[in-house]
Structure 1
Amino acid sequence: MLMKKITKILVGTNNSGKLKEIRGLLPKSLEIYSTADFKIKSPAENGRTFKENSLIKARYFSKKSKMICLSDDSGLEIDILEGNPGIYSARWGGKRGNFIKAMNRVFKELDKKNKNWKTKKIKARFICALTIYGPNQKTISSLGKVEGHISSSMKGENGFGYDPIFIPKGKKITFGEMKPLQKYKMDHRFKAFKKIKKFF
């Protein structure tokens, strides 16, 4: 059976930063809808992995909208913190998803582990799981990762989430300090999207 190219899609997220980034990755010819167009609230994310949570969101938003949906679940893993915040990345920001609060919590947890952590390279990575799910559509999943380390302070106003404290491998500046185009070409979301873009 020949795979029909997807011509319209719902981006399954209520996070405006993610929506903007995913829109930037999708082909210009695609008809793109957001969850706000359908006024759909987000489901409970009770999966144990990024991939499971991505599928939960894609399936939920697709069933509510009767559309093919592309959903993302992503977060920051820090080795010295046993991989936390990981799938709880957004939850570290509290009910309102305040990432200043979340980044300060990262610093607090690192302080507990090692008072001198700022003088060391604290290994971390961003992970993104993307899922396409929908009526008459084979479920497609992909995973993207970008390795790096934690900045000793918050730097930069660009991006969203933990971008101001993550320095990708081989770079001297955080994602928060990068111009959006520079970040899009190397981040975890871009890497995950590259694996599924042939379906559009």
Structure 2
Amino acid sequence: MSKKKINKLIIGTNNKGKLREIKSLLPKSIKIYSTSEFSLKSPTENGKTFKENSLIKSKYFSKKTGLICLADDSGLEIDFLDKSPGIYSARWGGKHGDFVKAIRRVYKELNKKDKNWKNKKIKARFICAISISYLNKKIACVVGKVEGYISHKPKGKNGFGYDPIFIPVKKRKTFAEMKPSQKYKMDHRYKAFKKIRKFL
């Protein structure tokens, strides 16, 4: 299967920001379908790791459509919060994935742990697991990471998810303050894509 170049695939996400970013990273020669074209809801993600959840999604959407599926599972780990929210990153935003709410919860948890957390450098990383599956068969699964720390307040209007509170190492701006073209060249999804490109 993987010897042959993939010429069409479905991106297994209902997150518009994620869909946009993945599309921008894929070779232009691939015809891309989105889950909304098939009116598909996302499966229950009950894996214990980003990799497991990514595979649950890519296999599910592939079986539903008969297309090869590329799916990612990603999230934010904050060392000071014992690596939370981690695989529950989207769930911290509640049923509707409201990231304003999720970001508020991050600050609430940091405050609970230490009122003076703003005087410390709160280390964090974004992790992205990308998998490609065809029906029940895994073609590939890789992980990309970007290290950084938590901003004292949300900044910037670009990006999505936790981007307004994440400052990558050696940068002063949050992901949400950067131009998408700048962020897409350095984030966790880009790093995972570099590893998976040979399968495309």
If the length of structure 2 is used for normalisation, what is the TM-score? Answer: 0.97
User: Matched residue of 1:182: which SS?
Assistant: helix
User: Matched residue of 2:73: which SS?
Assistant: strand
More displaced 10-residue stretch of structure 1: 24-33 or 1-10? 1-10
Q: After the TM superposition, which residues 171-186 of structure 1 pair with which residues of structure 2 at under 5 Å, given as runs?
A: 171-186=171-186
Equivalence for 1:75: 75
Q: What's the Cα RMSD here?
A: 1.3
Hey, what's the Cα distance between the residues in 1 that align with 2:63 and 2:131?
A: 14
Q: Deviations over 1:84-104 (max 9, x none)?
A: 000000000000110000000
Structure 2 runs not aligned, ≥5 long: none
Structure 1 runs not aligned, ≥5 long: none
Match of 2:111, as an amino acid? D
Q: In 2, are the aligned partners of 1:123 and 1:148 still within 8 Å (CA)?
A: yes
Equivalence for 2:159: 159
Equivalence for 1:94: 94
Q: Deviations over 1:113-170 (max 9, x none)?
A: 1111112110000000000001596520010000000000000000000000000000
Q: Deviations over 1:64-119 (max 9, x none)?
A: 00000000000000001010000000000000110000000000000011111112
Hey, what's the Cα distance between the residues in 2 that align with 1:196 and 1:2?
A: 11
Hey, what's the Cα distance between the residues in 1 that align with 2:135 and 2:151?
A: 43
Equivalence for 1:55: 55
Hey, what's the Cα distance between the residues in 1 that align with 2:94 and 2:50?
A: 19
Equivalence for 1:23: 23
Q: Deviations over 1:27-80 (max 9, x none)?
A: 111100000111111000000000000000000000000000000000000001
Size of the aligned set, in residue pairs, is 200
Equivalence for 1:6: 6
If the length of structure 1 is used for normalisation, what is the TM-score? Answer: 0.97
Q: After the TM superposition, which residues 114-129 of structure 1 pair with which residues of structure 2 at under 5 Å, given as runs?
A: 114-129=114-129
Q: In 2, are the aligned partners of 1:68 and 1:137 still within 8 Å (CA)?
A: no
User: Matched residue of 1:196: which SS?
Assistant: helix
